[in-house]
Amino acid sequence: MSKKQPATEQHHKEQAAGNLQLGRRGFLHTGLLGAAAARAAWAGPHRPTAEAAAGLRQRGATPIVDLEQPVDPQAVSVETWNDPWVWRPSDWPREQLHLNVVESQNPGVGTIPGNPNPRLFSYGGITPGPTIRMRGDETLAVKLRNLLEKDFGVTFVHEYPDPNELTPDLTLEEVNSKAAEQGNRRDDFCLGEHTNGLHAAHVTNLHTHGLHVSPGENSDGTHSDNIILRVLNQPDYRRRKQESLSPSCVFLRNPEQIYFLTDDEVAGEANYEFRIGNVLGVPGAPHPPGTHWYHPHAHGSTHNQVASGMAGFLIIEGDVDDRINQRMTGSEHPEPTVKSGPFDYRERLMLMQRVSVPSTDPDASRKQEQLRQPPAVLVNGSQQPARILMRPGAVERWRVLNGSVDGKGYRRFMVLNGQYGQAKSGALTKYDPETKEWHDASLSEVERDKLTLYQLAMDGVTLVTGEGDDARYTIKDLALQNPSPNPLATHPIPEEGDRNLPMLENLQAAYRDPTSVRNTYLRPNEVYLAPANRTDVFFKVPVGTAQDTVLTVIGKSVIVHADNPQQMMQQNVASGTDELPMGPGEVIVAYIVVKETGIQEDFDVLSLRDVLPPVPPYLRPLKREQLIDGNGKFRTRTITYSGWGSQDFPLVSTDPSDPSAADFKAFIEQDQAAGGKLEKLRYARNGTDPQGNPIFVLLPPAIRSMAINGRKFDPTDPERPVMLLDSAEEWLLENSSMMLWGDTGSKPPGQWLGHFRGYPISRKDGQDRFFGEGPYAEPDYNFQIVTKGVDHPFHIHQNPCWVLSIEVPDENGNLVNILDEPRWQDVIFIPRNQGRVVFRTLFADYVGTYVNHCHILLHEDNGMMQAIEASPFEDHANYAPKDKLPSDPGSQTDFPRPTPEQAYVQNTRFVDPNRATGQVYPGFVTVAPKYSGS
């Protein structure tokens, strides 16, 4: 998709006319807040006409028309809240839970209640799937049946460019013809192994996200948390038997194989047994209690299936729950969804999920166009916020799961005083019961309206404070979590005029210095949730709340997770448009209507700390001495996430001004001498230089350049990390994904679509040139972000991580730890632009192969996943022995942070080690372009 065209030079001159000096940020801000002349000056040639503005309103691109009727609290007499239905193994001894994977609809409108959007797949036609509640010493038995139809998809392996990012003269027919000539075409039903890229959408399996459980196969042949397993549908299995010798049905790792299934495949169904308990080898030691979930994890189809709503809660109950229940209700085992005890105590399950499915299912049996709908944001499968009734002083426990799987799925979970909604534009609105009107809700208003939350757990682990034998469970009063001003609320957003500018200023203010970064990410009375994060919180309706008051439970949208919002605002400011960038949408979880008389006793939620049980050894924070090996060295490891999406790939060409030109030319000459096998697949002609010589450009790969330690996923990768069983390590995670800045007003030879020459400069340098500040006398609105970075949510299977720091770079690249204290997590977002995370973890109990990966599941399917192995043999371990730890002050020498130039190179290359489907991209040495500052 091509980027919006920048403002013209003439437009810039018009803006500067009349001594308005619109490039200066201070004056711009003043003008936007009140100067009619300033607004008129911005109404240049790129300003929408009245007719165009009307069209935008018709498409729902401008505020404010609220999607919801306001809640009339006096008319609400019953709750409409629904939790997913529950299955307990204890109610069905020696029986299996049957999970049937079915096609929900194709084509047409979805049939799942509460969700009008198209849905491809589900467990038994419902979403979410059944909630599994079990004790920490039980076995969960599941029969997973794949009842899907045939896979009709086609996958191109080896070299293949992104079909949406082809040069103007290169057609998709040419690309596909060339790929077929190279033997790169494979039918999805016969992809018998794990290859990278979206493929085989009708293959599935099952992952228990958060469980400390065996990662492979049980001794009796049942499967545990084996995400390497591929469960085929029966029609594809029959096709393999009929067509196993055809040229399009060649198993990738062993082309001579005549079998119909590989070692990692079963047909039709799979039997699972998740045997939890005996943690750390202690007989009878139960699995710690916590809020977890399950979802499919077949590489290549994970995004499509989870994004269709294939997910459900998996709750382990135990001593923490028993103690809390006893105190709140008088019983250790009350019915969780029924209010009981003097405080109306109950639990609620809240699965927030941004659902995004393609308009067509390329692997469907009927390849017809489905209805294109915008991504839905669902809570427990419904788009309609439920009504909850609570009394003043009532206390509830909420288990919150962010089941979103894409880069726009980051959320800030909170409760707001008042009734909030969402406009068609995506903007947050608030209802005024006095005027009976909705208005745009500012972030300042949100900050004022937040009500107190008490956090019990993160990612299924009760919060822990202290170390070793002094470790204890705790509850956190989130009202005390950094109650400082929010930089994102610095400048108010005007209702009309050029509203993008203060939004852009606020976003830039968020990274101004270390204090600003910390105050942006660490906010009071909210929990920041990356995709796949969970949290358990207590909420108490404030004592004295008036009858018929409406409160809003919300998953607030996030704009600091990636560079997309800043890029969109820059483009809008440069073009003078008043159109606000469309956000990912708010998640209105529920409306609480306060009813009846208050609770007699004003309960102190923090007093529950006194009844919490001891912390089991498995969840005690790891000490330094536990990281030391037999030679007195610390066990450490550095894991680097790198790469860009194809749309964000910078221009790399053979033009002499390109720093990679010489090596690129040599690569092309070598390929041409071999018959030009990679032309149109790895590179293509795109225009000529001033002398008439052809310019070649590097094509972005279809599987993106995203990788871990420079390598894409292969379950048998010989360079996979190997850890010693029952040992602890400290890991340093790095994210080389970064923003690049470029001149969108000048087009170097070879430029096409949004691919510009991108410079790896600091956020401050780029912003200064855009606004004409610092060393720049005049603004340059053409100098914008041309390549975007994203925060990658790292997830590791089997073992939680004791997270010591999450380090976000400020505008000058200085790292800022945004955690106020360490905590256990199994999903941790790694900040972009060379941000870092440091954690410790214990590889306890289980040997075998499992994975870490990005939980933006489109990234995972494209290869941002890494096999890791726990081994009982010390000589197999390949950790890095160090004299210092990444968490030690002054450890930069031992653990150097990549420079922006080094990160640029990391992002432009990868190795796909799959023996039959892999590639080495790009095949030559790339060099970061140097920025001259002019």
Model confidence at 211: pLDDT above 60: yes
Distance CA 854, CA 745 (A): 35
Model confidence at 556: pLDDT above 90: yes
Model confidence at 58: pLDDT above 80: no
Distance CA 501, CA 490 (A): 12
Q: What are phi and psi of 636, to 5 degrees?
A: -135, 170
At 19 the pLDDT is 28
Model confidence at 321: pLDDT above 60: yes
Confidence of residue 190 (pLDDT cuts 50, 70, 90): confident
At 372 the pLDDT is 43
Q: Which of 856, 859, 793 is nearest to 829 (CA)?
A: 793
Model confidence at 192: pLDDT above 80: no
| HSE-up of residue 124 (Cα within 13 Å, Cβ side) | 12
Q: Which of 186, 212, 214, 181 is nearest to 200 (CA)?
A: 186
Please give the distance of CA 304 from its chain centroid, rounded to a whole number: 14
Distance CA 25, CA 509 (A): 12
3-state secondary structure 561-594: CECHHHHHHHHHHHHCCCCCCCCCCCEEEEEEEE
Q: CB of 751 within 8 A of CB of 901? A: no
At 755 the pLDDT is 97
Nearby residues of 568 by Cβ (< 8 Å), 6 or more positions away:
581
Distance CA 259, CA 400 (A): 45
At 48 the pLDDT is 27
Distance CA 710, CA 699 (A): 18
Model confidence at 106: pLDDT above 80: no
Choice between 657 and 39, residue whose per-residue pLDDT is larger: 657
Model confidence at 285: pLDDT above 80: yes
Model confidence at 248: pLDDT above 70: no
Report the mean per-residue pLDDT for the chain: 87
At 934 the pLDDT is 65
The DSSP string of 200-266 is -TT-B--EEET----SSB-TTS-BSS-TT-EEE-HHHHHHHHHHTTSTT---SS-TT---SS-TTEE
What are the residue ranges of helices labelled H in 592-660? Answer: none
Q: Per the structure block, which two tokens stand in for 849?
A: 């192969």
* 360 residue type, one letter: T
Model confidence at 800: pLDDT above 50: yes
Confidence of residue 224 (pLDDT cuts 50, 70, 90): very high
Contacts 24+ apart (CB under 8 A), 743-748: 743/780, 743/782, 743/783, 744/3, 744/6, 744/782, 744/783, 744/784, 744/786, 745/6, 745/9, 745/780, 745/782, 745/783, 746/782, 748/651, 748/653, 748/655, 748/657, 748/658
Q: What are phi and psi of 615, to 5 degrees?
A: -80, 125
At 9 the pLDDT is 37
Distance CA 122, CA 106 (A): 12
Choice between 116 and 857, residue whose per-residue pLDDT is larger: 857
Confidence of residue 354 (pLDDT cuts 50, 70, 90): confident
Model confidence at 30: pLDDT above 70: no
Instruction: For tokens 């994102």, name the residue.
Output: 488
What tens digit of pLDDT does each residue of 516-526 get?
999 999 999 99
- Residues of the chain with pLDDT > 90: what percent? 73
At 153 the pLDDT is 84
3-state secondary structure 254-296: CCCCCCCCCCCEEECEEEEEEECCCHHHCCCCCCCCEEEEEEC
| Mean pLDDT value across residues 47-68 | 31
Burial class (CB in 10 A: 0-12, 13-18, 19+), 918: buried
Model confidence at 198: pLDDT above 50: yes
Say which DSSP state 602 is in. -
At 368 the pLDDT is 39
Model confidence at 273: pLDDT above 50: yes
The DSSP string of 653-717 is BSSTTSTTHHHHHHHHHHHHHTT-TTBTTTEEEEEE-TTSPEEEEEPPBTT-S-EETTB---TT-
Please give the distance of CA 307 from its chain centroid, rounded to a whole number: 12
Model confidence at 23: pLDDT above 50: no
Model confidence at 781: pLDDT above 60: yes
At 34 the pLDDT is 29
Q: CB of 456 within 8 A of CB of 538? A: yes
Lay out the sheet containing 97-103: strands in order across: 121-123, 97-103, 139-146, 269-275
Cα of first residue to Cα of last residue in the chain, in angstroms, is 28
Distance CA 811, CA 815 (A): 10
Model confidence at 77: pLDDT above 60: yes
Q: Which of 386, 433, 394 is nearest to 549 (CA)?
A: 433
Model confidence at 24: pLDDT above 80: no
By DSSP bridging, strand 476-477 and strand 527-529 are unpaired
Confidence of residue 371 (pLDDT cuts 50, 70, 90): very low
Q: Per the structure block, which two tokens stand in for 204?
A: 């599935």
Q: CB of 863 within 8 A of CB of 707? A: yes
What tens digit of pLDDT does each residue of 463-505 get?
999 988 899 999 999 999 999 999 999 888 887 778 889 999 9
At 251 the pLDDT is 60
Q: CB of 810 within 8 A of CB of 512? A: yes
Distance CA 842, CA 800 (A): 8
Q: Which of 355, 365, 299, 357 is nearest to 147 (CA)?
A: 365
Q: CB of 253 within 8 A of CB of 261? A: no
Cα angle 375-377-381, degrees, rounded to a multiple of 5: 115
Q: CB of 69 within 8 A of CB of 422? A: no
In this structure, the number of other CB atoms found within 10 A of the CB of residue 872 comes to 9
Distance CA 297, CA 809 (A): 32
At 597 the pLDDT is 85
Distance CA 314, CA 351 (A): 12
Distance CA 829, CA 781 (A): 31
Distance CA 188, CA 678 (A): 23
Name residue 552's beta-bridge partners. 416, 591
| HSE-up of residue 881 (Cα within 13 Å, Cβ side) | 8
Distance CA 363, CA 200 (A): 7
What tens digit of pLDDT does each residue of 422-449 get?
887 778 999 999 999 999 898 999 999 9
Q: CB of 126 within 8 A of CB of 387? A: no
At 359 the pLDDT is 36
At 127 the pLDDT is 86
Model confidence at 630: pLDDT above 90: yes
Distance CA 7, CA 4 (A): 9
Q: Per the structure block, which two tokens stand in for 304?
A: 């499509």
| Mean pLDDT value across residues 601-613 | 97
